[in-house]
Structures are given as C-alpha cells and as structure tokens.
Amino acid sequence: MSEMVRGAGAEVEGPLTRAERKERTRQALLDAALRLSAEHTLAAVSLRHITREVGIVPTAFYRHFESVEQLGLELVDASFASLRAMIRAVRAGDPAIDAIVRNSVEVLVEHVHAQRPHFQFIARERFGGLTPVREAIGHQLQLFERELATDLARLPTMDTWSSDDLHVLANLIVHAMVATVEQLLATPDNRRDLEQEIMRTARRQLQMIIVGAANWGAR
C-alpha cells in the first residue's frame, strides 16, 4: 500500500513515481522531526510522534531511516552542507582579509535567516540529546576548522605558520562564528537593529582575532 503523506509539500498535482513518493515521504519525516524538536532535543521526540505528524504508520518509518538517530544525522548534514559551501565560496573570492570577514558575516546571517529551524536544531543538539547527533555536530565543526586552516595557510602572512598555530587560529574564528549564530537565534526577527549590532560586533571580533594573529606570526 502506498504511503499517504500529509504536511508541508504533500499536496502535489499529478501522479508521482515510486521514487518521488519515497523521496517526498523521506523529506516529510525530516521536516516533521525538525518541527517536533523545536522545543526539545531530538531524544525527547519518539518515532511514533514523527510518523503521526507525517500521517504514516510507524513501521513505514524504517523504509526511509534505520532509526531516529540516523534521521538526526541527516538533519545535521543538511544543516551544515550548504553553509560550508557558501563560506568556502567567500574564501575563494576576494583574498583581502577585510573582505573575507565582511562577506563571511553577511553570509552567516543570511543563512541563519534562511535555515533558522536547522540552526535552532543544531544549537539544541550541540550539548544535549542523542550522542551520535552531538558527535556529528562536533565533527562538522572540526571540518569547518580544518578547511579554514587550509585556506589560512595560503595567505601570504601565514604561509610560514605551523599547522598547530593555523588550527588554533581556525578554532578561534569558528568559535566566534558559533557565538554569533547563538546571539542571532536569541534575537527576535523584528529587531534588525539588534541584528546589525551583532553583525558589527562579529566583524570586530574576527578582525581583532586576525590582527592578534598577525602579531603572533611576527613574534
């Protein structure tokens, strides 16, 4: 029997192929888990709650995911994949440090607006909830740091730095960006004045880190 899916994106005109139905159900499960975990960690959301939200029987869940943990890992991948690509594109553009700082902050803010539920999910799961999901978030942040350290090594002022120093610098930058995301999530959507202040502070923090790094490299 085919799965009858309700929820976001369920109303589609015309017949669907088997693969399209399966993909639509899979996405509906991801969306449902994201909605249900809006106030709690994913550990508090049961498989039965998710399938009831979508409108399928619990056993149908296993046609798409092995467990709620695996679903959570998919949400982590979805939350980070596009952001990493966008930040990578920024670093590949204008090589000037000021431009990288300015554009990185702007991209980060735009992405928080576009993917707010995903960032809220990451913020909740980062220190609690399911262990595999928490570890996956930590792994994604480490990937950010490694990619950033590689790019920093290409800058003329840092091409003689040790690998350890580059990774320490990358860690400082990533942590500053994570703190910025947490502040943005705590800011009401209608308070653009506060958002602008957060952006100004974030740019200053990153610039200070880089200035300090330049003096460190010249020691």
**Long-range contact set of residues 85-92: C-beta below 8 Å, sequence gap at least 24:** 86/111, 87/144, 88/147, 91/148, 91/151
Domain 69-217 classification at class level: mainly alpha
Residue-level pLDDT, tens digit, the chain, 219 residues:
445 555 544 444 557 788 888 899 999 999 999 888 887 788 888 899 999 999 999 999 999 999 999 999 999 998 887 777 777 766 665 566 667 777 788 888 888 888 888 888 888 888 877 899 999 999 999 988 888 888 778 777 777 788 898 899 889 988 888 898 889 888 887 788 898 999 999 888 888 887 787 776 555
Residue 4 to residue 21: CA distance in whole angstroms? 9
Residues 6+ apart with CB under 8 A from 82: 111, 115
Sign of the alpha-carbon torsion through 139, 140, 146, 152: negative
- Cα torsion 10, 16, 22, 26 to 10°: value is -30
Q: Give domain 18-65's CATH architecture.
A: Orthogonal Bundle (1.10)
State residue 139's pLDDT score.
Answer: 92
Running DSSP on this structure, what letter comes out for residue 12? -
Helices (H), 93-191: 97-114, 116-125, 131-152, 163-185
Residue boundaries of the structural domains of the chain: 18-65, 69-217
Tokens 């009401």 belong to residue: 188
Which pTM does this prediction carry?
0.78
pLDDT at 10: 45
